[in-house]
Amino acid sequence: MRLLVAEGKVRDDSRRIADSVGATPSQRYADVLSLLAPDAEIDICTPADAAPDLPKPLEAYHGVVVTGSALNIYKREPGSLRQIDFLRETFSRGIPIFGSCWGLQLAAVVAGGEVGPNPRGREVAFARKITLTDAGRAHSMHEHRAMCFDAPAIHGDEVIRLPDSAIVTAWNEMSAIQAAEIKYERGTFWGVQYHPEYDLVDITKTVERYGMRLVQEGFFADSNGLNSYVQDLSALRANQARRDILWKMGLGADLLEPEKRTREIANWIGHKARPFASRG
Summarize pLDDT for 193-244 with one digit per residue, the tens. 999 999 999 999 999 999 999 999 999 999 999 999 999 999 999 999 999 9
Residue 159 has pLDDT above 80, yes or no: yes
- 3-state secondary structure at position 13: helix
pLDDT at 18 over 90: no
Q: According to CATH, what is the number of the domain 2-198+257-278?
A: 3.40.50.880
* Active-site option among 7, 123, 181, 197: 197
State the amino acid at position 181 in one-letter form.
E
CB 108 within 8 A of CB 116: no
The reported pLDDT for the residue numbered 280 is 67
pLDDT at site 51: 81
According to DSSP, the β-strands at 166-171 and 41-45 are: unpaired
Q: Give the pLDDT confidence score for residue 199 in this predicted structure.
A: 97
Q: Is 45 noted as a catalytic residue in this protein?
A: no
Length of the chain counted residue by residue: 280
C-beta neighbour count of 56 within 10 angstroms: 12
- Residue 195 among the catalytic residues: yes
What count of other Cβ atoms lies within 10 Å of the Cβ of residue 122?
Answer: 19
Tens of pLDDT, residue by residue over 80-120, are: 999 999 999 999 999 999 999 999 999 999 999 999 999 99
Q: Please say if 62 is a catalytic residue.
A: no
50: confidence class by pLDDT, cuts 50, 70, 90: confident
**227 by DSSP, 3-state: which?**
helix
Q: Which of 7, 101, 142, 264 is catalytic?
A: 101
What is the C-alpha to C-alpha distance for residues 109 and 137, in angstroms, rounded to an integer?
Answer: 25
Task: Name the phi and psi angles at 67, rounded to 5.
Answer: -80, -175
Choosing from 62, 142, 155, 195, the catalytic residue is 195
Residue boundaries of the structural domains of the chain: 2-198+257-278, 200-254
